[in-house]
Structure 1
Amino acid sequence: MDIRQLEYFLAVVDQGGFNRAASALYVSQPSLSQAVRVLERDLGTELFHRIGRRAVLTEAGRALIEPAREAVRSLETARASVAAVHELSEGRLDVAAMPSQAVEPLTTLIRSFAERYPGVAVAVKAAFTTRDVIDAVRTGAVELGLLASAGPVPDKEVRSYVLGEQRFVLVAAPGSFPGRQVVRSEELAGQRLIVGQPGTGMRAYVDSLRDQGIGFTVAAETEHRVALLPLVLAGVGLAVVTESWREIARQTGADVLDIEPATALQVSLVSRRGVLSPAAAAFWTTAVPSSP
C-alpha cells in the first residue's frame, strides 16, 4: 500500500466513479483501476462493487475513507512542514465555507493571508450547512472551516473560535419598500420569499417566522446562493440573508433593509483538534491574532 493508491481511492470516492476520478487526476482510467485493484489485493478485500460503469463502496471501502484521508493529510502536512522552512513560499490550504460566510469574512481573511503568504493557494470547498462544515473538518477532507450557527459550535471533535456575528437582512427588488431602511419581521406576512434548503441559517430563520404565526409563501427554494440576487431582482420574491451580502446586493441595485427585531448568527472558524499544517496554522493566526 502506498499514498498514491490511497489518493486514487479517495478520488474515486470524491468524484463518484473511475472515469471522473481519472480525468480529475490526469491519469488514464486503466492505470487508475489497476492501482485500486492492487490496493484491494493488499488489503484482501474489495473496496468497490463494480456495477456497469458505476462504483459503489463496499462496507470495507466506507471504513477506509477516514483513515485514508488521515494518511494523505499527514503526508501533505509533512510536505508543507518542509515548505514552511522556506516561510510558506508554496503550498495549498483547503477550507470549507458556507455560502454567506464565503462572501464575508472569508474574502477578507484570504486577502490578509495572501498578502503575507502569496505562494500558498487557498482552495475553498462549498458546504451548505453547519454540519457539512464540521464533518469536512472532522474527517480531514479540509483543514479549516468557516460556518455560521445560532449558538456554540455543537461538536467536541473540532476546536472553534467565534469571529463575530452577522445579522439577518432583507433583500428586495428596488422600490419594494419606498424610503425604508428597516422592516419589522411581521411585515413579511403575506410576502413571497426565496428560501434556502433545510439546515441553513436563512431557512431556520424564515421557518421561525411561521412558528411566530407570520405566514408567507415560498416562491422558490434554492441551494445555489448565487441565484438569490437574480431571483430577487427579477421580482420572484424577497430573500432573507446575512448582512455579508449587503454591499454586493446594493451594488446590483437591490434594496437591503435591516430586520427588526434583530436576529444574528455567530460566525466561527473551526479546525480539527491537534497539530495543524503550517499553512493552516498561519491562516488561523491571521484570523485569530491572539492565538498561540
Structure 2
Amino acid sequence: MDIRQLEYFLAIVDRGGFNRASSALYVSQPSLSQAVRALERDLGSELFHRIGRRAVLTEAGRALIEPAREAVRSLETARASVAAVHELREGRLDVASMPSQAVEPLTSLVSGFSRRYPGVSVVIKAAFTSRDVIDMVRTGAVELGLLASSGPVSDKEVASHPLGRQRFVLAVPADGPFAGRTSVHCRELAGQRLIVGQSGTGMRAYVDVLQEQGIELTVAAETEHRVSLMPLVLAGVGLAVVTDAWRDVVRRLGARVLDIEPEATLDIALVSRRGILSPAAAAFVRAATAAPDR
C-alpha cells in the first residue's frame, strides 16, 4: 500500500466514480483501476462494487475513507512542514465555510492571509450547516472550517476558535415595507413573506423560532443557494432574514438593511481538528484569532 493508492481511492469517492476521478487526476482509467485493484489485494478486501459504469462503496470501502483521509492529510502536513522552512512560500489550505460566513468574515480572513502568504492557495469548500462543517473537519476532508451556531461550539469533536458574533438583520427591497426605518421589531414581521434557508442553518432556525412564538408569517421561498437570495428579494418575492455579514452586499445591490429588535445573534467560530495543524492552518488560525475587528 502506498499513499498514491489512497489518493486515487479518495478521488473516486469524492468524484463519484472512476471516470471523473481519472479526469481530475490526469491519469488513464486503466492505470487508476490497476492501482485500486493493487490496494484491494493489499487489504484483502474489495473496496467498490463495480456495477456497469458505477462504483459503489463496499462496507470495507466505507471503513477506509476516514483512515485514508488521515494518512493523506498527514503526508500533506509533512510536506507543508518542509514548506514552512521556506516561510510558507507555497502550499494549499482547505477551508470549509457556511454560505453567509463565506461572505464575512471569510473574505477578510483570506484577504489578510493571502497578503502575508501569497504563495499559499486557499481552497474554499461549501458546507450548508454547522454539522456539515464539523464533519468535514473531523474526517479530514478539510483542515479548517468556518461556521455559525446558536451557541458556543463544543470542543468534543473539534477544536473551536471563537471569532465573535453576527446579529440578524432584515434585507428589504428599496421600495419594500418599513420605508424610512433603520430597525424593525421581530413581531412586525407578522404577515410578511420571507425567503429562508434550508433546515439546519441559523437563519432558518431564527425564523422557525419566530413562528413558534406565534408570529404568523409566510415562507415565500426556501433556498439552499445563497446566490439566489438577494435576486429573490430584489424581485419582490419576499424579505430575507440574514446575518450582518450581508449588510454591505445588500446595500451595494440597492436594497435596505434593517436591524431586527430585540437583537439576536449567532456565534461565529473557526474550527480545526485536534492535534498538530499544518503550518498554513496554524498561521491562518493565529491570524484569525488575532484580528482586532473580529
TM range (shorter): over 0.9
Native 8 Å contact 1:175 1:255 kept in 2: no
Match of 1:59 in 2: 59
Paired residues for 1:109-124 under 5 Å = 109-124=109-124
Alignment partners' CA distance in 2, 1:155 and 1:81: 25
Which position in structure 2 is the counterpart of 1:262?
263
- Give, in whole Å, the separation in 2 of the partners of 1:58 and 1:159: 31
Distance 1:234 1:7 in 2: 45
Contact kept? 1:134, 1:155, Cα under 8 Å: no
Q: Paired residue for 2:196?
A: 195
What are the equivalent positions in structure 2 for 1:20-99 lying under 5 Å apart? 20-99=20-99
Aligned partner of 1:3 in structure 2 is: 3
Change (3 A) 1:53 1:155: farther
| Deviation of the 1:155 alpha carbon | 4.6
Opposite residue 236 of structure 1, the aligned amino acid is V
Mapped partners of 2:201, 2:66: distance in 1: 25
CA distance in 2, matches of 1:263, 1:68: 41
Task: Provide TM-score, normalisation by structure 2.
Answer: 0.97
Q: SS at 2:254's partner residue?
A: coil
Name 1:184's counterpart in structure 2: 185
Deviation digits for residues 176-196 of structure 1 (CA, Å, limit 9, x no counterpart): 121011111111111111111
Report the Cα offset of residue 154 of structure 1: 3.1
- Structure 1 runs not aligned, ≥5 long: none
- Please tell me the residue identity of whatever aligns with 2:14: D
Could you tell me whether the CA contact under 8 Å between 2:162 and 2:289 is conserved in 1? Answer: no
Tell whether the 8 Å contact from 1:49 to 1:58 is kept in structure 2 after alignment.
Answer: yes
CA distance in 2, matches of 1:161, 1:75: 25
Following superposition, the deviation at residue 111 of structure 1 comes to: 1.0
Deviation at 1:289, TM superposition (A): 2.8
* Structure 2 residue ranges without an equivalent (≥5): none
Identity of aligned residues (%): 78
Distance 2:258 2:124 in 1: 29
Give secondary structure in 2 for the equivalent of 1:256: strand
Matches within 5 A, 1:266-281: 266-281=267-282
State the TM-score, normalizing by the size of structure 1. 0.97
Tell me, what secondary structure is at the counterpart of 2:191?
A: coil
Instruction: Give the SS at the match of 1:140.
Output: coil
Give 1:288's aligned residue. 289
> How far has the Cα of 1:49 moved from its partner?
0.9
What is the RMSD computed on CA atoms of the aligned residues?
1.0
Equivalent pair of 2:154/2:160 in contact (CA under 8 Å): no
AA aligned to 1:20 is R
Q: Report if the CA contact (8 A) 2:92-2:280 is conserved.
A: yes
Pairwise CA distance, 1:157: 2.1
Residue type of the alignment partner of 2:167:
R
Aligned counterparts of 2:38 and 2:232: Cα–Cα separation in 1: 50
CA distance in 2, matches of 1:53, 1:216: 48
Aligned to 1:249: 250
Q: Secondary structure at the match of 1:266?
A: strand
Secondary structure at the aligned position of 1:288 is classed as helix
